[in-house]
């Protein structure tokens, strides 16, 4: 979600660069229109669309990929930007991972160029293949979601305001994707997200689940993978626990935090969604909030880090705005929005609403892995357990009494795991809010073994 301080810092820096039109926003050197592949698909020109969507691999260290736009709402000219990386091995049988970042309103660009993404941008502006890329053994489809995020665009009144709309639009994009790449439409699909992706992933997955019942071409959804999942705000807004446990507040302040939490939960119970979201901002999320003022911390992604050093950020923001890169990605003269305030505010009333009932239903039919970084404050492990224990699915009673097992990677203790029926719960040691940034090797091991149904402990 947008409160991940690493990402927040990135977009502050990006905003500074965007003041120069040669770097961000509409670029006078580019006059091409964005590639709307939907137009070609509707005209029966799928092969032409696929050919046009090829990304010049010379700019990306020889990495094969495709990009363009899927129209998901004609009335509002809403288009989702996609960037697809076919598996480097056994493409025709490899599972497909659909990657959705959080925010709401955060572009996938950082995930593509870091963590377990396929690419890296070096300090000198050159690109190399990601060492821990999950596209080595899986195809990965990145979508800038919702519309208005990254290169995705819409009309002023086309921004999504709830998860039902988002689920429908992602489903529309996914059905078009399988028309573009029909050779993998029967491959296993895993929907991956982090943070606010804890809503996006269930939203799309539930839409697929419902529509598959009557669909002629069913989507082969196999599982959901969510990191530091913001899913059920009422039962996850217990910041007094984590803040006190790690020593950031004393007992008296913990009592004050609990009062804030009780007020927040009452607003949620009354369905005063916007008021609850704004109260949450004042409690924990924004500069000047109770948490920031009392702890002196400027961010909540890692309780060992008071303030993120922007000097350590890679030059991703500059690279993706270069004219030759923009041309390669077929984005035309569209503005790039690293973090969209319009998207965030459009979903203001959605932030404190729960999708736990959808996740409960999905757990009865699909495998679900929820993993959490030990060092996160914004969506801590205790908050995750709070909402998981309240889900209503087959095996929930067994989950309540299950014993955690140690999880090792190459003989190193990496975390703790519970596996009960379709649910896999993981705590990743020494990892922050965005686990795949701080522990990429462990994350790719976790994801790969989950998908391949290999034993994790």
Task: Look at residue 1 in the predicted model and tell me its pLDDT.
Answer: 55
Kindly name the residue from 65, 152, 195, 237 that is annotated as catalytic: 195
Task: Look at residue 30 in the predicted model and tell me its pLDDT.
Answer: 52
Task: Look at residue 457 in the predicted model and tell me its pLDDT.
Answer: 77
Neighbours of 189 (CB within 10 A): 25
3-state secondary structure of 349: coil
Q: How far is CA 145 from CA 35, 125, 189, 391, in A?
A: 17, 26, 18, 26
Cβ distance 150 to 69 under 8 Å? no
User: Is 433 an active-site residue?
Assistant: yes
Q: How far is CA 234 from CA 224, 239, 295, 377, in A?
A: 22, 12, 23, 16
CA 413 to chain centre: 26
Task: Look at residue 311 in the predicted model and tell me its pLDDT.
Answer: 54
Neighbours of 305 (CB within 10 A): 16
Cα four-point dihedral sign 446, 451, 454, 457 = positive
Kindly name the residue from 138, 235, 317, 433 that is annotated as catalytic: 433
Cα separation, 52 vs 45, whole angstroms: 11
Cα separation, 172 vs 167, whole angstroms: 9
Task: Look at residue 315 in the predicted model and tell me its pLDDT.
Answer: 72
Task: Look at residue 126 in the predicted model and tell me its pLDDT.
Answer: 84
Q: Are strands 127-129 and 139-143 parallel, antiparallel or unpaired?
A: unpaired
* Phi, then psi, of 375 in degrees rounded to 5: -90, 0
CA 299 to chain centre: 19
DSSP per-residue letters across 230-284: ---HHHH--HHHHHHHTTSS-HHHHHHHHHHHHHHHHHHHTT-HHHHHHHHIIII
Task: Look at residue 375 in the predicted model and tell me its pLDDT.
Answer: 96
> Cα 180–182–186 angle (5° rounding)?
135
CA 376 to chain centre: 16
Q: At the topology level of CATH, where does 12-234+315-451 sit?
A: Rossmann fold (3.40.50)
Q: Tens-of-pLDDT digits for all 457 residues of the chain?
A: 544 444 444 443 443 333 333 233 334 455 479 999 999 999 999 999 999 999 999 999 999 999 999 999 999 999 999 999 999 999 999 999 999 999 999 999 889 998 999 999 887 878 999 999 999 999 999 999 999 999 999 999 999 999 999 999 999 999 999 999 999 999 999 999 999 999 999 999 999 999 999 999 999 999 999 999 999 999 999 999 999 999 999 999 999 999 999 999 999 999 999 999 999 999 998 888 999 999 999 888 889 888 866 555 557 877 888 899 999 999 999 988 888 899 999 999 999 999 999 999 999 999 999 999 999 999 999 999 999 999 999 988 999 999 999 999 999 999 999 999 999 999 999 999 999 999 999 999 999 999 999 988 7
DSSP per-residue letters across 364-424: TTSEEEEEEETT-STT-HHHHHHHHTT---TTHHHHHHPPPEEEEETTEEEEEEEEETTEE
Task: Look at residue 310 in the predicted model and tell me its pLDDT.
Answer: 55
Cα separation, 106 vs 126, whole angstroms: 24
Cα separation, 23 vs 436, whole angstroms: 28
Q: How far is CA 70 from CA 23, 51, 158, 305, 446, in A?
A: 25, 15, 15, 39, 31
Kindly name the residue from 376, 380, 436, 438 that is annotated as catalytic: 376
Task: Look at residue 314 in the predicted model and tell me its pLDDT.
Answer: 59
User: Is 195 an active-site residue?
Assistant: yes
């Amino acid at each position: 979600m947008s409160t991940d301080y690493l990402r927040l810092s990135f977009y502050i820096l990006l905003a500074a660069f965007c003041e120069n039109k040669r770097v961000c926003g509409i670029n006078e050197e580019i006059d091409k229109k964005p590639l709307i592949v939907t137009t070609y698909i509707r005209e029966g020109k799928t092969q032409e669309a696929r050919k046009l969507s090829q990304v010049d691999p010379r700019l990306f260290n020889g990495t094969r990929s495709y990009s363009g736009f899927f129209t998901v709402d004609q009335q509002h000219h809403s288009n989702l930007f996609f960037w697809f990386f076919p598996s480097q091995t056994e493409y025709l049988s490899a599972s497909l991972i659909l990657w959705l970042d959080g925010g709401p309103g955060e572009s996938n660009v950082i995930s593509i160029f870091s963590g377990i993404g396929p690419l890296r941008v070096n300090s000198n502006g050159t690109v190399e293949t990601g060492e821990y890329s999950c596209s080595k053994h899986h195809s990965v489809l990145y979508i800038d979601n919702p519309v208005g995020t990254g290169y995705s665009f819409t009309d002023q009144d086309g921004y999504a305001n709830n998860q039902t709309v988002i689920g429908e639009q992602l489903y529309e994009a996914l059905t078009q994707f399988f028309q573009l790449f029909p050779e993998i439409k029967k491959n296993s699909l895993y929907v991956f997200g982090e943070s606010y992706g804890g809503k996006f992933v269930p939203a799309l997955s539930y839409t697929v689940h419902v529509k598959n019942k009557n669909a002629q071409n069913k989507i082969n959804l196999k599982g959901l993978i969510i990191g530091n999942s913001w899913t059920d705000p009422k039962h996850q807004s217990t910041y007094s626990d984590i803040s006190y446990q790690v020593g950031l507040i004393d007992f008296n302040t913990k009592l004050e935090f609990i009062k804030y939490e009780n007020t927040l939960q009452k607003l949620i119970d009354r369905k005063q969604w916007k008021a609850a979201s704004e109260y949450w901002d004042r409690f924990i999320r924004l500069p000047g909030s109770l948490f920031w003022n009392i702890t002196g911390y400027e961010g909540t992604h890692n309780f060992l880090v008071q303030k993120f050093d922007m000097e350590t950020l890679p030059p991703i923001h500059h690279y993706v705005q270069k004219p030759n890169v923009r041309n390669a990605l077929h984005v035309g003269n569209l503005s790039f929005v690293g973090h969209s305030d319009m998207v965030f505010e459009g979903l203001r009333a959605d932030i404190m609403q729960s999708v736990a009932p959808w996740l409960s239903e999905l757990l009865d039919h699909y495998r679900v892995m929820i993993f959490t970084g030990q060092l996160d404050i914004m969506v801590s492990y205790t908050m995750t357990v709070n909402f998981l224990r309240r889900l209503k699915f087959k095996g929930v009673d067994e989950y309540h009494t299950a014993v955690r097992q140690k999880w090792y990677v190459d003989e190193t203790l990496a975390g703790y795991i519970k596996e009960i029926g379709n649910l896999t719960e993981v705590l990743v040691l020494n990892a922050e809010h965005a686990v795949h940034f701080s522990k990429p090797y462990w994350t790719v091991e976790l994801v790969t073994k989950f998908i391949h149904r290999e034993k994790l402990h």
